[in-house]
Amino acid sequence: MALEREKSLMKGLRQLIFPLAAVLAAFVAGSFLVLAVGDSPLATYQLLIGSAFTWPDGIGYTLFYATPLIFTGLAVAVAFRCGLLNIGAEGQLYIASFATAWVGITFAGLPAILLVPLCCLAAVLAGGVWGGIPGVLKARFGAHEVITTIMMNFIAIALASYFTQYHYKPPGDAILETVPIGEGGHIARLGRFVPGLPERIPLNLSFLLALATCVLVYLFLWRTRWGYEIRATGASPAAAQYGGIATGRQIVLAMALSGALAGMVGINEVLGYRYRYYDSFSSGYGFTGIAVALLGRNHPVGVILASLLFGALLRGGLFVDIFTEHVSKDLVMVLQGIIILFVAAEAMFRDRFRGPFGRRIKGV
């Protein structure tokens, strides 16, 4: 029993230590880049991290930027658990955001008690359907999900742009966006409830929804039969099929759930922030979600922590761009890339994780 507890503890430590080591190594590598362009790494990182955790603006915007990353990180993590790589979260969140706005425009006269749930349902269903299509193609025809999801990104973004441009854009508006949704579709900003947090900060109730979704995803994956079958399919499709699991069905289910989670970005974007569909609103949330899932070890708790890190980098990058002489906000992109490189090279850290007598700890 003690041995089992020790193994469980060491496994938990590994889940925490290796991503942390990757982040620290990325910041060390980034400091050399900052030195190379002629700025101070200490001053740059003070701006980058310090500006992201000031109250209320820093923390408010960091949490706001983290909200869509939680949804997309969960989306990628669920697909990963089934052995799938969903590159299509970007397209799924675009098509879902447009569907959310369409419902909010079409049924603008409904009261909030009906319009908000209807818009949320539209986001989930649109993302789920768009994610389920590559799942069906994978399960039925063996089409690789990486190729199909990438192709569907282009289709989703183009369709949303087309309908916005020719059917829902306000006349004479130079910006490619739809008309506003009904006021009943607005969800409250947290500044209404949190003392000291001004309502001008766009952090809204969808952040709490994102946290609740993390709990639900954990319960689904680790406490239900369907979640077990998804994880079993990802661990070994042949063994899962031999054990009586319909692996094709699990592939479709995992991709549909992944798309639905990515589609929930539309709730934050349309109902809590812009109150309309705005073309090209995403700054690569779907692709950054891949980095979030990898750094978070495809676990909901890890996804939250990784999203907060990337949200802080996005917030702090603005101040680095303004207040440093040579370093631009592109440093954020560089740091994200280096973090993923170190996460992918986990074996480099694993080989240095040794026991008290210099021998490598088994199972780590």
Average pLDDT over residues 331-343: 84
Same domain for 93 and 126? yes
Residue 61 counted as domain residue: no
Residue 46 counted as domain residue: no
Average pLDDT over residues 267-282: 96
* CB neighbours of residue 172 within 10 Å: 5
Residue 198 counted as domain residue: yes
Same domain for 313 and 332? no
Q: Is the pLDDT of residue 358 over 50?
A: no
Listed residue (333, 348, 284, 318) closest to 48, CA to CA: 318
Which tokens belong to 96?
Answer: 């879902």
- The residue with greater pLDDT, 173 or 185, is 185
Q: Is the pLDDT of residue 224 over 90?
A: yes
Q: Is the pLDDT of residue 363 over 60?
A: no
What percent of the chain stands above pLDDT 70? 91
Q: Are 177 and 38 in contact (CB under 8 A)?
A: no
Residue 49 counted as domain residue: no
pLDDT for position 2 = 61
CA 239/CA 321 separation, integer angstroms:
51
Same domain for 219 and 104? yes
Same domain for 110 and 251? yes
Same domain for 33 and 72? no
Residue 52 counted as domain residue: no
Q: Is the pLDDT of residue 193 over 60?
A: yes
pTM here is: 0.92
Average pLDDT over residues 239-245: 94
Residue 337: band (very low, low, confident or very high) from pLDDT cuts 50, 70, 90: confident
Same domain for 7 and 155? no
Q: How many domains does the chain have?
A: 2
Phi, psi of 198 (to 5 degrees): -70, 150
Q: Are 152 and 89 in contact (CB under 8 A)?
A: no
pLDDT for position 13 = 66
Residue 54 counted as domain residue: no
Same domain for 149 and 35? no
Domain of 143?
67-319
Residue 8 counted as domain residue: yes
pLDDT tens, 57-113? 999 999 999 999 999 999 999 999 999 999 999 999 999 999 999 999 999 999 999
H-helix or E-strand spanning residue 129:
helix 112-141
Q: Is the pLDDT of residue 53 over 60?
A: yes
- The residue with greater pLDDT, 348 or 301, is 301
Same domain for 223 and 356? no
Residue 361: band (very low, low, confident or very high) from pLDDT cuts 50, 70, 90: very low
Q: Are 252 and 136 in contact (CB under 8 A)?
A: yes
Average pLDDT over residues 119-136: 98
Which tokens belong to 123?
Answer: 């986001």
Same domain for 117 and 140? yes
Same domain for 210 and 73? yes
Q: Is the pLDDT of residue 315 over 90?
A: yes
